[in-house]
Amino acid sequence: MSNYYQGMKADMKSELIIRQIGQVRDKANAFLIKELKRRHMKGIAPTHGDILWALYTYGELPMNKLAQIIGRDKSTVTALVNKLINFKYVEKRTDPADSRISNIFLTEKGRAMKQDFWEVSEALRAKAYQGLSKEQMATLMELLNKIQENL
């Protein structure tokens, strides 16, 4: 934290919590973009991370279930999936049991970058959490969850 923030009164700092959360997100995204570029993961953006995580974790998923798992609306997920389709990381197929359902699955190209994906994710966590105890991380998660529930 900069000297400017360290010198602020506690009540003034609390006014900047949401701003600070946004800055953390911006820095995390900048880190991810740098790592993705360094690993030549063409077309992948930080916004694709949740989708790839869900597919690596659960395998093929219906579009509505994918949206539910990552906590985004279906139209946002559709736009993100379409970008991944354009870069040939995922494909879409109609569910054989219900033609109204589109299932999303990883292509060979998408599966091939799994190791890089996990390594980039781990590098981000290691950088972000350095110097934090397990108790501090648990408290931070609890507080962030509470803020999310409030909103």
What residues contact residue 68 under an 8 Å CB cut-off, 6+ apart?
none
Residue 14 lies in a domain: no
Has residue 9 been placed in a domain? Answer: no
Rg of the chain, C-alpha, whole Å: 18
In a domain, 21, yes or no: no
Question: What's the structural domain count of the chain?
Answer: 1
Domain-embedded: residue 24? no
Say which CATH number the domain at 56 has: 1.10.10.10
Alpha-carbon 84 to chain mean position: 14
User: pLDDT tens digits for 85-98?
Assistant: 999 999 999 988 99
- 16 in a structural domain: no
Of the pLDDT bands very low, low, confident and very high (cuts 50, 70, 90), residue 47 is very high
Does the pLDDT at position 8 exceed 70? no
Type of residue found at 110: G
Q: Structural domain of residue 91, as residue ranges?
A: 29-150
| 135 belongs to a structural domain | yes
